[in-house]
Amino acid sequence: MTDPGAAPAGDGRASSDPRVLFDVRGRGAVVTGAASGLGFAIARVLARNGARVLLVDNTGETLETARQSLAAEGLEVRARMADVRDRAALDAAMQDAAGWGSGLDIVFANAGVSSGLGRRFGNGLAEIDDDRWQSVLDINLTGLMLTVQAAAARMNDGAGRIIVTSSVAGLAVDPLVGYAYSSSKAAVTLFAQNVATELATRGINVNVIAPGSFLTAIGAKNPGNTGMIDELTRATATGRIADPAEIEGLALLLASPAAGHITGSVFVIDGGVLATRN
């Protein structure tokens, strides 16, 4: 007779052994925005820990370079070009991942773009550009919705993981960051929590990572953001901007059996930015 309180497959309750708790071997994963930055770091940690990872991005040459660098380590990775605004392309990517091995278990909806500097740098309410505003929302919010929708349609029930990338800029007012970016990330957070309550009945957990400043193409490495680097650094309690590799531990946790009872939660990784403001 089945114990009604028994842990489902992929749930870490059956063991306190870290090799079991954080085991993603053989699990199928998709990471969007995987060609560089946080997405690449997430794809790398999953692959290095035994997952089959499909890297998705809309930058062909950079994406192939990312795939080759991971494949050179002997890791099980593939790459697929897709724009997150393209429903058909996302559906095809998820179908590809679901048909590879034992199916689709983990999706990181990570792709996103910046809207530039915020009102501290003269980009206030009156300076919001209609086209730029719409473009940022199309990618950061609608693109994420399409990614999560496509993932849910193909994901294995029982121990699925969907993790979306938001931002600390979506959790508190930040005059350093553009209106469109912070607005899109605030919406992403609530969207993911809403989805978490729906997919919980299928055994699919949905969580949010809210990064602070990282050395990425849309963050501190963006040449257009040079005026804010010192301010971003001063805003942290740690006194530094994070390397993308520092996302890996949190990403692995949320993708693993150890996160079996974690859903609808927001995980801030910002070097103490929000704590410093309080």
Question: Where in the sequence numbering do the catalytic residues fall?
Answer: 181
The DSSP symbol for 246 reads G
Backbone φ, ψ for residue 204 (5° rounding):
-110, 120
| Residues paired with 56 in a beta bridge | 32, 80
Q: Report the side by side order of strands in the sheet with 77-81.
A: 77-81, 52-57, 28-32, 106-109, 160-165, 204-211, 266-269
- Is the Cβ–Cβ distance between 186 and 141 less than 8 Å? no
Which residue, 113, 100, 114, 111, is CA-closest to 146?
Answer: 111
d(CA 211, CA 9): 30
What would the two tokens of residue 235 be? 């805003």
Backbone φ, ψ for residue 207 (5° rounding):
-135, 170
Helix (H, G, I), strand (E, B) or coil at 68: helix
What would the two tokens of residue 241 be? 């901007």
